[in-house]
Amino acid sequence: MKEKIADLEEKARRLRVAIVKTLHKSQSGHTGGSLSAIDMVCALYFHKMRHNPAEPAWDGRDRFVLSKGHAAPALYVTLAECGYFPAEDLMMLRRLGSHLQGHPDSKGTPGVDVCTGSLGQGLSMANGMALGLKLDGKENRVYAVLGDGELQEGQIWEAAMAAAHYKSDNLCALIDSNGLQIDGDVSKVMNVSSISDKFKAFGWNAIEIDGHDMGQIVAALDQAEAHKGAPTAIVAKTVKGKGVHLFENKASYHGVTPNDEELPEALRCLGCCD
């Protein structure tokens, strides 16, 4: 297990490098929220989820919904690392004609099941998938990654209510609780705390973890799978921009990409020399 965790940590480091390089190339996209979510996305794709990159539409796959769609780079580098499409495609992020759209687009990108980008809609789609999979008697699970600012959308709580009502225990929401949104601190813009108390009040199983501690992420995902009768919310305390001190905990880095001066330092922070 210890080895497995170390493996995942190394994978996450490499994915962070890919995020930084991809966003430096595109010069457009969301750095902070991609870096805060990547440890969870990494654990899902390289530890928890059943999926088959050679057959993206494989019937036996678990489903993933990046509800905070602006963190698309985190998803894209992970899908590329898995082998869903060539890593070269990353260099075309957000370009005219590229399948790697600014926000996830299921019409063009192998491995992407739903379109997201308009915040607040992903949890409803994830619960719909969970309900449908259960109807078909399938064991597959559905994972959704949400932002903490995103929780301000009322639709999230409509979905939370419905998922608990229908006992969607095959659904797991991971909340990237980095404390920031575009206009500043989530607590100052529109307070959403306590996140875990809210989910509990809606009938969910809630687990609080450090969203950058791979051991805790893996343990929480296993607990979520074992919990029956209710969906699970993993409330992960994270740092926006995690891994590169230039970007860490800065609201101003939400939608800003690494420039030429920042790139070497960012890569150095991530233990990358090339």
Q: Which residues bind Mg ion (CB under 5 A)?
A: 147-149, 178, 180
Q: Give the number of C-alpha atoms closer than 13 A to the C-alpha of residue 262, restricted to the C-beta side.
A: 17
Return the closest-CA partner of residue 113 out of 56, 52, 28: 56
User: Per DSSP, what are the bridge partners of residue 82?
Assistant: none
Which stretch, 51-59, 79-87, 141-149, 217-225, contacts ligand TPP (CB under 6 A)? Answer: 141-149
Q: Which tokens belong to 76?
A: 């894209």
Which stretch, 26-34, 133-141, 218-226, 264-272, contacts other proteins (CB under 8 A)? Answer: 26-34
Q: How far separated are the first and last CA of the chain, in Å rounded?
A: 30
Cα separation, 103 vs 76, in Å, equals 10
**What count of other Cβ atoms lies within 10 Å of the Cβ of residue 46?**
17
CB of 23 to Mg ion, least distance (A): 17
Of 85 and 211, which CB lies nearer to ligand TPP in the complex structure?
211
**What count of other Cβ atoms lies within 10 Å of the Cβ of residue 220?**
26
Secondary structure element (H or E) that encloses residue 200, with its range: helix 195-201
Q: Find the length of the chain.
A: 274
Which listed option, ligand TPP, other proteins, Mg ion, none, makes contact with residue 68 (CB within 5 to 8 Å by class)?
Answer: ligand TPP
Which listed option, other proteins, ligand TPP, Mg ion, none, makes contact with residue 231 (CB within 5 to 8 Å by class)?
Answer: none
Give the x-and-dash track for 99-118 against other proteins (CB under 8 A).
-xxxx-x---------xxxx
Interface contacts to ligand TPP, rule CB under 6 A: 32-33, 36, 68, 70, 117-120, 147-150, 176, 178, 180-182, 240, 254
Which residues make up the interface to other proteins (CB under 8 A)? 26, 28-29, 69, 94-98, 100-103, 105, 115-120, 149-150, 152-154, 181-183, 189-190, 192
